[in-house]
Chains A and B, each alone.
Chain A
Amino acid sequence: MSVGTPSWSEATIRPDAQTPGTVLHDLEPSLNEKTKGILQTQVTTTFAGEMVEHHLDLIAPRLEYRITLLAARHTKDLVYPVIIQSRGFLPIDTRTRVVPLSLSAAKLASIMQKLAEKGIGGLDADEQEAASEDEFRRLVQQVLDSPYTISLTHSLIARSNEKSGNGAPQGNPQ
């Protein structure tokens, strides 16, 4: 049986491929526009030895509060694979368990949490790896659409509105 000449598939080669940092920077203006400045995003990049870490931060200017929604880290030269870390990847009960549980439920939750913390393939439960730009974009979208992010953005918007004494957006405060 003859085997064809190997070739580069379109799925693996992208002439317009972008770095994780560029993909995240592209997200910056949209939340500001959608919330009329109540929430903003900012990407910060830190170089630590051979490692580069980008943070996608949510900023609530009226609350003077900032939270890193996701962190993406890769080596200086090889920007993929990139490890993405966010609470948006966690199952809800390992993220928000703060109410007292019965002892048996607490034990079960503890076992689940330990398993979740251990993760698979050397990654923590709140981490995922993307080998390409497409995978990275898909995982970032998964974080943005997660119940965690939805709860977080709604909370920050509501608290910002409460602080300004108005239920409606006030425009960009900065």
Chain B
Amino acid sequence: MLSFLFWNLNLPEEPAFNSNIENRLARIVAAENVDIIALAEARLPPERIQSALPKTAGHSFRHVESASERLRVLTRLPVHALVPRYDSSDGRLVIMGVKHKKWELLFAVVHLQSKQHWSERDQAAQATIQAREIVRQEEAAGHARTMVIGDFNMNPFESGMVDATGFHAVMSRRVASSDQRKVAGSDYRFFYNPMWGLFGDRTAGPPGTFYYSASRPGEYFWHMFDQVLVRPELIDSLGEVRILASDGTETLLTESGHPDKAAGSDHLPILCRLKALRKQVKK
């Protein structure tokens, strides 16, 4: 089992040493037995995050070098298990190759532009560019065992997430398992988006990953900006996917049940696990 954690820490500036945030992160990592951590808006020196993280079976976490300052990836896997493959010019997309034991996959981390500055149309255009880049990396790698995780700043139902030219991420494993579809003469591969299944109160865990309330006629309140997507090749490997409401010891929510920004972040972390499948091994 490989365990992945993504968390947008939303740190406006470098916090004081021994702040809650790195301790909370460390508790999650220990409680959930995380192998690979991806962080957005983590304005902390990597060595400071590393030093807070637990050592498990003699393995300490190391920062995987990347040109992005927006996104940080840390892992306790061996040095050559996680190798940078692509960095975008704005640091909002990082793609790494993961090769460890029975796993060989592409691991992409995103932090797309905020709704504060970009319209849904702008975001959809950017999603097209990011999705195209992922396809290029898949072509270079010779496989499409790809996981994308991060803060998309879009809900799963928005254009950039569902359009064939965008991430093309659908709610149904069965639909995604058809692998691709043709639109206007071009083939587009699917992603499966398990986050659809975590919306609202009738599921385990919080209703979304981000809460926002404004005095305007149309307001969802809860959003699912933080998501994980997998290509059809990884659907059968996908184990649990959860929005975390606790760091294992303390809640990450306020009394009203919203993400507790004062004690953590205004985003909730997401966790997912991949089971190894024999067919993933390259012969």
By a CB distance below 8 angstroms, the chain B residues around A71 are 88-90
> A78-120: which residues lie under 8 A (CB-CB) from chain B?
85-87, 95-101, 103, 106-107, 110
Q: Is the CB of A98 within 8 A of B128?
A: no
CB of B13 within 8 A of CB of A107, answer yes
Bound CA span A64–B136, Å: 13
- How far, in angstroms, from A107 to B12 measured CA to CA in the complex? 10
CB distance from A35 to the nearest CB of B (A): 19
**Residue B211 at the chain A interface, CB threshold 8 Å:** no
Q: Which residues of B contact A98 (CB under 8 A)?
A: 45-46, 69
Please, how many residues of chain B have a CB less than 8 angstroms from a CB on the other chain?
Answer: 33
Q: Which residues of A contact B90 (CB under 8 A)?
A: 71, 85, 87, 126
**A-B contact number at CB 8 A:** 76
B87 proximity list for chain A (CB < 8 A): 66-68
CA distance A135 to B137 in the complex (A): 32
B127 CB to nearest chain A CB (Å) = 8
Please, how many angstroms separate the alpha-carbon atoms of A96 and B85 in the complex? 20
Which residues on B are within 8 Å of A, measured CB to CB?
A: 12-14, 16, 43, 45-48, 67, 69, 83-91, 97, 121, 124-126, 128-129, 132-133, 136-137, 140, 165
Q: Across chains A and B, which 8 residue pairs bring their CB atoms closest together, nearest first?
A: A110-B13, A48-B128, A48-B125, A68-B89, A67-B87, A106-B14, A46-B132, A71-B89
Subset of 6 A-B contacts with CB under 8 Å: A48-B129, A55-B133, A64-B97, A66-B137, A67-B89, A110-B13
Given contacts A68-B87, A106-B13, 15 further A-B contacts (CB under 8 A): A44-B132, A46-B129, A48-B129, A53-B129, A64-B83, A64-B140, A68-B89, A71-B89, A85-B89, A87-B89, A99-B45, A103-B16, A106-B14, A107-B13, A152-B67
